């Protein structure tokens, strides 16, 4: 381990110590036991409190501020683990041995190239798209590259039309015409080279393909949007190191690589959040894991979810100085506007991820005047918010409050912050989709209909006069 990265471990363990001091250790017994369906629970708007399934993957205790993956607390995973190990843990349920980890990393490297998908992506105006939109597109292209699902349908239809006109071709021998026969032959050849699991696009292999592919595409998108060519990953660097390198074109320092690794671990999974739920809903229809991850990306980009990290940096720049914080905050509070990077549906205490990211942001900005200023504004704002909203409504900083400052200190532009969140969360999305599919039941809640009945259908000329309801 590099000397300076030991300091990072020290920072994490200090955050753990503080968390232990401030929180008690018993889990919530009512939320950590097998379910006897149907289950009684109190459900609020936005499905608050609704129990949708059992899981062994992760646990969030909002009142105490704990985050646990597969039984391990988040602080130990950050202090002693790597993102590759944590992804393996989430997916398989246990930490890998040396041999298992080596094999797993080899697989991730194999999938990292994604040449064909990157080439396809370059056919789109990436520089005019928001990176999250481009990432969603790229995920779809990965699916197409490996499964050919969409292309099958299209070509068969064309071939069917051709076949309908070709009376001269005997139906028994070439039912869909010569073009289709050639296509089918080529498809067969292509399929032979695709791993069994990838063909149906729902298995573990597809999950690993996505884990590496989404990271690789994020690097490519970061470059393409600046008019530069994607760069090849460096086999000497870790998953986290390559993410920084392929996005910025700059080899990360050991500290930057380690801090990015910690951040990826912190974001890898987080209960039934909106994007995880969106992925699971798509998977529950027996769609495929590429489209599930695409749904996760779509949900994550919103400012109430993963999109908040980008907004935090804009907000801190807008505040401008520590002195401006009280007046700025009072104005927002009087207008009842939300402060980005604060509050959480589950955490009604300090988010353990922010406990780690806050001191890391301090550490990373200590040498840089500009980012140090942003950090100082953030700390002052945190104090103001906790003093008022913390006391009144249990609102504390969440994971998005300090992550942007950390990424900005590495020279990463702010519209890539949410894609980095997505890269990490692929581990959680795919693990939970795989777990849910084992006992799958299609998601189908109800809405309470509160509209009218027995309305008469009006002729079109009368409609402007009827009242809207
Ligand atoms: N600033 C000011 N007031 C807030 C905030 C905030 N950031 N968050 C919640 N409140 C208030 C809200 O106004 C409401 O007050 P009242 O009861 O007087 O009307 C109360 O707290 C409950 O808020 P809510 O919006 O009903 O809470 P929710 O559980 O539906 O929403 C949330 C959770 C994260 C969407 C919300 O806290 C929020 O919009 N935060 C800002 C955006 C943000 O930072 N998102 C990142 C979330 S963490 C990363 C992730 O997992 O996605």
Global confidence as pTM: 0.90
Q: Do 266 and 313 have their domain in common?
A: no
pLDDT in the model for residue 385: 97
Number of domains in the chain: 2
Is residue 416 within 8 Å of 247, Cβ to Cβ? yes
Is residue 459 within 8 Å of 343, Cβ to Cβ? no
Q: Do 339 and 252 have their domain in common?
A: no
Q: Do 127 and 271 have their domain in common?
A: yes
pLDDT tens digits for 302-349?
Answer: 999 999 999 999 999 999 999 999 999 999 999 999 999 999 999 999
Q: Do 360 and 255 have their domain in common?
A: no
Q: Do 215 and 352 have their domain in common?
A: no
Q: Do 166 and 190 have their domain in common?
A: yes
Helix segments in 203-272, DSSP class H: 204-224, 239-248, 254-267
Residue 100 lies in a domain: yes
Residue 425 lies in a domain: yes
Q: Do 271 and 401 have their domain in common?
A: no
Query: Which of 394, 409, 424 is the C-terminal boundary of a domain?
Result: 409
Pocket lining: 301 vs ligand 1, CB cutoff 6 Å: no
Is residue 115 within 8 Å of 229, Cβ to Cβ? no
Pocket lining: 344 vs ligand 1, CB cutoff 6 Å: yes
Residue 68 lies in a domain: no
Peptide linkage before 327 cis (omega within 30 of 0):
no
- Interhelix angle 83-92/204-224, rounded to 10 degrees, is 150
CA-nearest residue, atom 9 of ligand 1:
343
- Ligand 1 atom with the smallest distance to the CA of 351 is 48
Is residue 416 exposed (0-12), middle (13-18) or buried (19+ Cβ within 10 Å)? buried
Distance from Cα 246 to the centre of ligand 1, integer Å: 34
Q: Do 140 and 263 have their domain in common?
A: yes
Q: Do 264 and 347 have their domain in common?
A: no
CATH of the domain at 405: 1.10.230.10
Start-to-end CA span in the chain (Å): 66
Rg (CA), the chain: 25
- Ligand 1 atom with the smallest distance to the CA of 48 is 29
**Active-site residue, 288 included:** no
Pocket lining: 395 vs ligand 1, CB cutoff 6 Å: yes
Residues 6 or more apart whose Cβ sits within 8 Å of residue 289: 201, 202, 203, 206, 207, 210, 283, 430, 433, 434
CA-nearest residue, atom 45 of ligand 1:
304
Domain that holds residue 333: 309-409
Token duo for residue 23: 């929180």
**Active-site residue, 400 included:** yes
Residue 36 lies in a domain: no
Residue 371 lies in a domain: yes
Active-site hit among 270, 288, 344, 351: 344
Residue 37 lies in a domain: no
Pocket lining: 340 vs ligand 1, CB cutoff 6 Å: yes
Residue 3 lies in a domain: no
CATH of the domain at 133: 1.10.580.10
Pocket lining: 270 vs ligand 1, CB cutoff 6 Å: yes
Residues 6 or more apart whose Cβ sits within 8 Å of residue 36: none
Task: Point out the residues of the chain with pLDDT beneath 70.
Answer: 1-2, 25, 146-202, 465-469
- Type and span of the H or E element at 67: strand 66-69
Q: Do 166 and 110 have their domain in common?
A: yes
Residues 6 or more apart whose Cβ sits within 8 Å of residue 160: 176
Residue 61 lies in a domain: no
Pocket lining: 304 vs ligand 1, CB cutoff 6 Å: yes
- Ligand 1 atom with the smallest distance to the CA of 398 is 48
Distance from Cα 184 to the centre of ligand 1, integer Å: 53
CA-nearest residue, atom 14 of ligand 1:
393
The sign one gets for the Cα dihedral 211, 216, 222, 225 is: negative
Active-site hit among 288, 400, 415, 454: 400
Q: Do 405 and 423 have their domain in common?
A: no
Q: Give the C-alpha separation, 172 to 250, whole Å.
A: 60
Q: Do 294 and 397 have their domain in common?
A: no
């Amino acid at each position: 381990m590099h000397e300076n990265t030991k300091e990072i471990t020290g920072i994490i363990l200090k955050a753990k110590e503080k968390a232990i001091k401030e929180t008690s250790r018993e889990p919530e017994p009512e939320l950590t036991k097998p379910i006897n369906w149907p289950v009684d629970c109190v459900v609020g708007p936005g499905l608050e409190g609704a129990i949708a399934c059992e899981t062994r993957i992760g646990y969030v205790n909002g009142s105490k501020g704990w985050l646990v993956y597969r039984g391990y607390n988040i602080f130990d995973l950050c202090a002693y683990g790597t993102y590759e190990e944590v992804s393996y843990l989430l997916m398989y349920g246990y930490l890998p041995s040396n041999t298992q980890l080596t094999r797993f990393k080899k697989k991730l490297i194999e999938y990292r190239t994604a040449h064909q998908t990157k080439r396809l992506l370059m056919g789109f105006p990436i520089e005019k798209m928001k990176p999250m939109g481009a990432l969603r597109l790229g995920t779809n292209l990965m699916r197409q590259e490996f499964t050919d699902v969409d292309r099958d349908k299209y070509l068969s239809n064309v071939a069917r039309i051709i076949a309908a006109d070709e009376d001269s071709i005997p139906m028994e021998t070439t039912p869909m015409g010569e073009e289709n026969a050639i296509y089918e032959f080529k498809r067969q050849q292509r399929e032979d080279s695709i791993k069994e699991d990838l063909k149906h696009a729902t298995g573990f292999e597809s999950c690993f393909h996505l884990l590496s592919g989404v990271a690789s595409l994020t690097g490519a998108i970061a470059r393409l949007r600046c008019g530069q060519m994607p760069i090849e990953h460096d086999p000497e660097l870790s998953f986290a190191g390559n993410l920084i390198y392929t996005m910025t074109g700059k080899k990360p320092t050991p500290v930057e690589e380690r801090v990015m690794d910690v951040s990826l671990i912190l974001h890898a999974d987080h209960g039934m959040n909106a994007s995880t739920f969106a992925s699971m809903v798509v998977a529950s229809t027996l769609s495929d894991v590429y489209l599930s991850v695409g749904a996760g990306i779509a949900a994550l980009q919103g400012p109430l979810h993963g999109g908040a990290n980008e907004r935090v940096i804009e907000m801190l720049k807008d505040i401008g100085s520590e002195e401006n914080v009280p007046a700025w905050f009072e104005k927002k509070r009087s207008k009842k506007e939300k402060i980005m990077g604060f509050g959480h549906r589950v955490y009604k205490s300090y988010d353990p991820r922010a406990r780690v990211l806050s001191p890391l942001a301090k550490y990373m900005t200590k040498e840089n005047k500009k980012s140090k200023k942003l950090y100082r504004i953030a700390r002052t704002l945190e104090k103001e918010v906790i003093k008022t909203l913390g006391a009144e409504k249990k609102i504390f900083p969440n994971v998005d409050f300090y992550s942007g400052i950390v990424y900005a200190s590495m020279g990463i532009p702010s519209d890539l912050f949410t894609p980095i969140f997505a890269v990490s969360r692929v581990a959680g999305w795919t693990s939970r989709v795989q777990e849910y599919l084992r006992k799958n039941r299609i998601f189908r809640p109800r809405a309470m209909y509160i509209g009218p009945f027995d309305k008469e259908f009006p002729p079109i000329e009368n409609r402007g006069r009827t009242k809207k309801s």
